[in-house]
Amino acid sequence: MKMLVFLGLLFSMGFSMEQTDFVFTPQQQGGFLAVDSVSQKGLVMALFSPRREFQPVLEGNAPIEHGLFTWGGLSLDLAELGGCVQLRFKLFGSQQHAITGSLTHLKKGALYCAGFRWDGSAQTQFEFFFNSMANGVEDWQLPGLFGATTAGREYALGNSSDIDLKEVRIYNRDVSLVEIAKINKINGLASITSEARPAKTKLFSTKNLKLATVYSCSLAHEGDLSDWVLEGGGVCEIAGKKLVMAAENGSHQVLWNKTDMPSDFLAEWKFTHTVDQGLAIVFFCAKGKKGQDILTGGLKPRTGDFKEYHHGDFNCYHISYYAWGRTTCNLRKNYGMYLAAVGNDLVSAVPAGKEVKISLLKMGSHITLAVNKTIALEYDDDGSRFGPVLGAGKIGLRQMEHTGKAYYRDFTVYRVD
């Protein structure tokens, strides 16, 4: 009887329902999603349009947060943070069970779609999509979260004056990636191209560049490490004619090359991840805020703690070119950790144990990162919003502890004339 009342309320409020598909609009505030159970597999999608430009807040300003909707214990929020614009799906309001997508900005009047897909048939896997593109995967052990014991979930739509929430769709069934793309296409949503995300088939070439070698090292001999300075603990050694790095005991590692690299350069190296997890970053154009050398200029000691590098006493760019489970490689500008560009993580798509070649090109304000000659990220720094375009400085390789062992070979930097 209770279920019949729920269903009667659902239809009386004008909800569109096709078997297990529900569509909510802003006029339908408050109530219950009337279902006998929440399926083991399903999808929530929110279509929205910003009423103004959304940008990261500048250093020293408080974050601005906007709620889009809640459904039972699931909520979707949008936040303008100090380094990025972030969409967050959270379970039961818990940061521990939050899956996020970091964005450089959102355009006024553009239509966007955030999706949250779950699969509770095994270990409860969650995926976050933004305009059909995967933005993260999490495996949380949450038995019983979805299933026959869950009946009727309260929902509420957000009321932010800065966001036009068009509709929320709940699919209480398995939804394929093909169907997600089809739904977004019907709504006129295209792939994101305004965040430096190139097509995954765009090729990288140095054919027309005039290059002169600044530094070259095979990383195959023990003496090669004399050109480098390690910050953080763990393994950093030459073994099997390659550099082996593996952080330990909660520490992370940053390995700086001692050479000052020019403002316009091409850096190339070979990288191998050995397990499907972890994060690898390259820092570049690193120089003290007053122009000091970051290794010999009397800056504060560093231990591998990430905050020392993005909110320390020097400026730099950094790119997370390998970020397992996130699907994106991000370019951030420091001091401040501002998310300047979002590209494609092409390293994670390569099987563990298979070597890839990384190419990083900086020419003036233009930055390109490529993996195996396919462009993963392109960015033009306007030299305004996040400070001046950065120039000459040090290059460093960062590896987080959960990456396990990773291998590096044939590190070379060229000056681009």
Tens digits of residue pLDDT in 363-413: 999 999 999 999 999 999 999 988 999 999 999 999 999 999 999 999 999
The mean pLDDT of the chain is 84
> How, if at all, do strands 314-323 and 328-334 pair?
antiparallel
Four-way CATH pick for 211-416: 3.10.180.10, 2.30.110.10, 2.60.120.200, 1.10.1200.10 = 2.60.120.200
Confidence grade of residue 311 (pLDDT, cut at 50, 70, 90): very high
pLDDT at 180 (0 to 100): 82
pLDDT at 356 (0 to 100): 98
Measuring CA to CA, which residue among 31, 39, 36, 37 is closest to residue 15? 31
- Give the number of C-alpha atoms closer than 13 A to the C-alpha of residue 285, restricted to the C-beta side: 27
Q: Where are the beta strands (DSSP E) in 5-159?
A: 16-18, 21-24, 32-33, 41-50, 64-71, 74-80, 85-91, 98-103, 112-119, 125-130, 133-139, 153-157
Confidence grade of residue 30 (pLDDT, cut at 50, 70, 90): low
Tens digits of residue pLDDT in 102-136: 888 888 998 888 888 888 766 567 788 887 676 66
Q: Do 35 and 151 meet the contact criterion of CB atoms below 8 Å apart?
A: yes
Tens digits of residue pLDDT in 78-109: 999 988 899 888 877 667 778 888 888 888 99
Confidence grade of residue 28 (pLDDT, cut at 50, 70, 90): low
pLDDT at 190 (0 to 100): 54
- CATH class, range 2-186: mainly beta
**Peptide linkage before 317 cis (omega within 30 of 0):** no
For a pLDDT cut of 90, what percent of the chain falls above it?
A: 52
Mean pLDDT of 41-62: 88
pTM score = 0.81
Indicate if the pLDDT at residue 160 is higher than 90.
Answer: no
Indicate if the pLDDT at residue 13 is higher than 70.
Answer: no
**Number of residues written out for the chain:** 417
C-alpha to C-alpha distance for 318 and 194, rounded to whole angstroms: 19
Indicate if the pLDDT at residue 288 is higher than 70.
Answer: yes
Q: Of residues 373 and 72, which shows the higher confidence score?
A: 373
Phi, psi of 3, deg, nearest 5: -65, -35
Beta bridge partners of 43: 117, 171
- 2-186 and 211-416, same CATH topology: yes
Domain coordinates in residue numbering, the chain: 2-186, 211-416
